[in-house]
Amino acid sequence: MATTLLTILLIACGHVICEISEEPCENFKVSFHHSYVQGDAAVLSCTMLNFLLEHVGNDTYNITWYKNETGKELFGDGDTIRAIDELLWFLPISLADTGHYVCVLRTSTLCFKQAVSLEITTKEDSCIHTPTYLQMLPASSNDNVVCPDVNIFMGKSDSHEFLWYKDCEPIENGNRYRYANNMLIIRTVEPEDEGNYTCVVTFSLNRTQYEASRTIHIDVKEVISYVPPAVINPINNSIEAWPGSPFNIVCKVFTGFSGENDLTDVWWDVNDTRIQNSSRITVGKQKEILTQTGQEVDVQLIFTELKEDDFGSNFSCFAVNGRGSAFAYFLLKPAGPSFLVYVGLTFAILVLLTITSLAIFKIFKIDIVLWYRKSSHHLKKNQVSDGKVYDAYIIYPKNHQSSSSKDPAIFALQILPEVLEKKCGYKLFILGRDELPGEAMADIVNENVQNSRRLIIVYTSTTFGLEDSDIQLERQAGLHDAFIDNQIKIILIELEKVKDYSDFPESIRYLKNKQGAIRWKGDFTEKTLSPSSRFWKHVRYHMPLNAPSLS
């Protein structure tokens, strides 16, 4: 009786799942959910196989399938459902097939099982619009939509063919969309490409045609800029820094990304070796900053102290992400006065030199001119004569009272000839000394002023107050030439300090203001009669240069 019961049970076990059997079987529970469309071909796979084979090793195994809801084992010779090795085929699938299918894997010693949940959706018209897959495409890129979960059909079938639909409209295989095996390639994805895409694969299996379809919802993600990274800083330049000082620079990389996860790697190299943290150098943490135009990645490089070595080194910042790579470098150069400072200094020195030379020339003008005349004297020797007889015509008041050296008559008749004639070799015309007797005064004056190269007017503060006719005549003749013809130069010599020029004639005042007067301070000493004294140098400076100079 017991034997009979056991036999019945065993027989039952052959076709019914042995839930009641004692066989210990590790249960992986429901691991997958699938949703297929009624009327399509479908296939379930015992996915734990690949994972378990590693553990099972070379041991022989066999796989059985059963439907949990009915408990019936499924075999390879089924009408529409066939269990062939690790695959369970539905050729085609029908609404009644909804349920849980359990795959059991046995070796000589082990047993595992795993259930796959299968859901069947109805097909409305010929258009399938319930998307069961989701794919995101970034805008502006060339991308493709993959018909998912069809590799088994492609691998096991004799032939296969794909057709694509977007929101139930067939997609033409052409310019913008191109069919490529199980993919649909979209050129330059646009927001309008969003929608429900259906791929239908037709394949033949053992000379029978089957069909399977998948519907994918495509989301187009607006990526503001889909650009390769760009290093904003450093900028391939040299940076001035003081050796021994701290230094800090940030590598700034624009990635333009505006999504959630952007994997941009940014790092610093020195001489093509990645910089590691040390006691002297710190590489900061990568920081992502969102700006108006897109993401920016910053990595700092901090030196506590710059060393000699750093100044020959090439520091570069690298950035790499899925869209490309970029780098830029900087070099350090020791700080010092800049070129501009040098230019400024040079300019300042030139200006200073010019000012000093001008000042020196102004102070020593007379000496320089006299020295020049003397040193170039031999050149002047052969100078063409200007037809004049005298170097200077002397005008002085003749009726002065005093008899000191301040007496214009003494000065004109004694001191001037003593120095200018005897010592310097000039030829003077002095009224009261050089005129021929009997000549008319006006003729003498006119003729001799015309024959002179300079007109020297000697006066004191009272000279023009008590003017006599001689000096007036002489002065007028000379000044007339000087002013009107501009032929003769006038030298004013003051014999004393003049406080008030109001008595002076307009012409003298004008000359005094324009060119100044030379003031005589001395008397008859050896020193004051030396041509190299300040006074005589000044007079000689104003005298013509064709006189042979003696000192």
Ligand X SMILES: *[C@@H]1O[C@H](CO)[C@@H](O)[C@H](O)[C@H]1NC(C)=O
Site residues (CB under 6 A) for ligand X?
30, 57-58, 62, 68, 82, 84, 89, 100, 106, 108, 115, 129-131, 167, 195-196, 205-206, 217, 235-236, 270-272, 277, 282-283, 285, 309, 312-314, 316, 328-329, 331
- For Cα atoms 164, 169, 173, give the angle at the middle one, nearest 5 degrees: 45
Contact 167, 129 (CB under 8 A): yes
Tokens standing for residue 355? 């000012």
**Measured from the CB atom, is 13 or 283 closer to ligand X?**
283
For the bound state, the minimum distance from the C-beta of residue 104 to ligand X, rounded and expressed in Å, comes to: 9
Beta bridge partners of 64: 104
Q: Which is nearer to ligand X, 243 or 417 (CB)?
A: 243
User: Of the listed 73, 296, 474, 494, which one is catalytic?
Assistant: 474
C-alpha to C-alpha distance for 173 and 180, rounded to whole angstroms: 9
Task: Give the nearer residue to ligand X in terms of CB position, either 130 or 414.
Answer: 130
**CB environment 257-294: b (16+ within 10 A), e (fewer):** bbeeebebebbbbbeeeebeeeeebebeeeeeeeeeeb
What string of H, E and C letters represents the secondary structure of 156-215? HCCEEEEEEEECCEECCCCCCEEEECCEEEECCCCHHHCEEEEEEEEEEECCEEEEEEEE
Element (H, E) at 374: helix 339-375
**Which two three-digit tokens encode residue 274?**
């990645």
Give the shortest CB-268-to-ligand X separation in angstroms: 9
Q: Quick check: helix, strand or coil at residue 495? A: coil
Minimal CB distance residue for ligand X = 312
Edge-first strand order for the sheet with 87-90 is 42-45, 87-90, 81-84
Within 13 Å of residue 8, how many CA atoms lie on the same side as its CB? 5
Active site includes 435? no
329 vs 504 by CB, closer to ligand X: 329
Looking up tokens 């015992």, which residue turns up? 46
Pairing state of beta strands 26-37 and 111-121? Answer: parallel
Cβ proximity to ligand X, 272 vs 500, nearer residue:
272
Least distance to ligand X, CB of residue 284, Å: 6
Q: Which is nearer to ligand X, 99 or 294 (CB)?
A: 99
Q: Which residues are catalytic?
A: 474
